[in-house]
Amino acid sequence: MRRILVVLCLAIITACGESYEAPANALDCGRQFIDAIFKGNFKRAKQLMLRDEQNLELLDEKLAKNFRERSGLDKEQLRTASIVINEVDNVSDSVTIINFLNSYDNKPAVLKVVNRGGEWLTDLKYTFSGNF
């Protein structure tokens, strides 16, 4: 009986964990990151970015703070907005710049996506500074 209970608990814990598919390319990574931000899923956004001090600070102090300060209606509009890709600039095999906007507020933005060790990750420093 104890074994069955342990196995059942493990199955429940495993089923509750969020599982995401790794981005196949730079555009997929950028799309997943933008979607996570628009939906307020900052845990997922963090998984899709370079994990350095400056990026973590920008995620928390700029993007998450902005989302938290929005009204409930504003958040819902953003959650349901479409991502519109205006331009994809493949700077190199490991660097891509994505120019996009969302269908809700139509504000243009840029996102840098880099390949590190075979993994596509976003680099927010570029979004907020514009420097390579």
Extract long-range pairs of 67-71: CB within 8 Å, 24+ residues apart. 67/37, 67/40, 67/42
Q: Count of alpha carbons within 13 Å of 129, Cβ hemisphere only?
A: 9
Res. 6: pLDDT tops 50: no
Model pLDDT, residue 3: 54
pLDDT of residue 130: 63
Q: What three-state secondary structure class fits 71?
A: coil
Label residue 10 by pLDDT band (50, 70, 90). Answer: very low
Each residue's pLDDT tens digit, 13-52 = 444 556 788 999 999 999 999 999 999 999 999 999 999 9
Using one digit for the tens of pLDDT, what is the confidence trace for 63-117? 999 999 999 999 999 999 999 999 999 999 999 999 999 999 899 999 999 999 9
Q: Which backbone phi and psi does 130 adopt, to 5 degrees?
A: 80, 0
Residue in the structure block whose two tokens are 């600039």? 89
pLDDT at 67: 96
The CATH classification number of 26-129 equals 3.10.450.50
